[in-house]
Amino acid sequence: MRSLAMTRRLIVGLAAVFVAFAMTAGAQAAGKTIKIGVIYDYTGPLAGGGSDLQALGAKIMIDHINSQGGVEGYMIEPIYADAQSKPEVAINEAVRLIEQEKVDMLLGFYSSAQCVPVAAKVDSLKKFMWITTCISPAVLKGRNLKYVFRPQVHGAMFGELSVDFLNSNAQSKMGIDPKKLRVAIIHEDGPYGSGVAGGNEAAAKKFGMNLVLKEGYSATAPDLSSLVTKLKRKRPDVILHTGYNPDISLFLRQSKEQGLRFKALIGHGAGYGVVDKLYDTIGNDIDHVFNVDPVSIWLLDPNSLAPGLAAVTKKVGDEYEKAKPGVTVKSAHVGMAASNAHVFFSDVLPRAIKKYGGIDAESLRKAALETDIAEGGTLLGFGVKFPGAGKSDMMGQNTRASPVVMQYVGRKVYIAWPKALQTIDPILPLPKSSPYAK
């Protein structure tokens, strides 16, 4: 009897120890976090040019992931930082987040002028960097960065697509042989504008177009009247423009005042992607302008996406409307950052934890290199695949990313190109009602 009582007490004691151990393990699991430094421009000119909307998209996705219980037992702990529209601040904030806040990785970045130096610095510190936005080829091209990845489209793709669109539509829509089309390329002179303009120029030369002007300017220039005067002398049929804001608004206002006329204007993301702001600043004069960007996630056919993604798109839209009540056109910027962040949280991070056992830079790098998402597998519709080590001069660049050409009409956004995704038959040239019509 005594032996039996002792056995029972031993069993009860062991059970208590097991329960305590389980509770402790559960508490530890519940307390696991991945600290992510999130850097965008919340102040300065880049904020209104789209960075604040990109930041909103990333935050919506982080909040969504945490509301679903996190990722493989890890909750996301974001630490938000303001780059203040200044490259030197972006670098300092990146270093501060890594060295003082002890973040596990960095996510975000809107401006290519910031991404170029920050990417090199973060890679040298052996920390993982996931770029949701900045598009300049110079961020990755020829640099062989090990821990920097960009699911986003790069600038040369933007520049090439707008020219391909012109080459395919110049004759049928404007009655002009593409080789006789007078094309002007203007751009802000940072890495972003220069990268897109390079894609414009290469494609225009490939198609034998008549390139009448290619000129850069400072995005902070207080006056662009001399540029407008040069354009008037060159008489372009089409202007390909890459800029932020307020330089876009300044250019369009001075173009109208000085009587610059053209048949088409094609923008390339950034400031051209902030539809409401363009209409609020320029009014209906912005009608029939084109913009090259990853497609707005709210324009895609839900049936073209992988199961479950349509519900996530709706969730992002609902949260967007809560944050920006009264918005008439959902900016592609919000969906872009949300989609690119979703790829990391739904594909890369789970694999790093489950297959490679951690959230360190090396585990995240290996997991990213194994990402293989088919077309339709992201909120943006395109797939994701990164080149293997030593197989590309743009290591870390998503080779399956692709933009579209959109057109603005009556405060609405339509897909004009490629033809398979069209929701509008592109209106070319500008109708006579436009103050810029040639």
> Which of 92, 89, 145, 136 lies closest to 115, judged by CA?
136
Specify the pLDDT at position 245. 85
- Write out pLDDT tens, residues 357-379: 999 999 999 999 999 999 999 99
In the three-class reduction of DSSP (H, G, I as helix; E, B as strand; rest coil), residue 240 is classed as strand
Which tokens is 7 given? Answer: 């056995």
pLDDT at 8 over 70: no
What's the CA angle centered on 170, arms 165 and 175, to 5 degrees?
A: 165
Contacts of 272 by beta carbon, 8 Å cutoff, 6+ apart: 241, 243, 248, 278, 289, 291, 293
Specify the pLDDT at position 311. 97
DSSP-derived secondary structure letter, 285: G
Run of H or E residues at 131: strand 128-131
Q: Partners of 307 in the beta sheet?
A: none
Specify the pLDDT at position 1. 43
3-state helix, strand, coil in the chain (%, to 5): 50, 20, 35
Taking the C-alpha atoms of residue 367 and residue 68, their distance in angstroms, rounded to an integer, is 22
Residues 25-32, mean pLDDT to the nearest whole number: 51
pLDDT at 91 over 90: yes
pLDDT at 17 over 50: no
What domains sit in the chain, N to C, each tagged with a CATH number? 34-153+301-385 (3.40.50.2300), 156-293+403-421 (3.40.50.2300)
pLDDT at 305 over 70: yes
Q: What's the pLDDT band for 438 if we cut at 50, 70, 90? A: confident
- Write out pLDDT tens, residues 65-78: 999 999 999 999 99
- Write out pLDDT tens, residues 394-407: 999 999 999 999 99
pLDDT at 4 over 60: no
What's the CA angle centered on 429, arms 135 and 208, to 5 degrees?
A: 60
What CA–CA distances, in Å, run from 432 to 10, 169, 239, 428? 92, 19, 17, 11
- Write out pLDDT tens, residues 173-196: 999 999 999 999 999 999 889 999
pLDDT at 90 over 80: yes
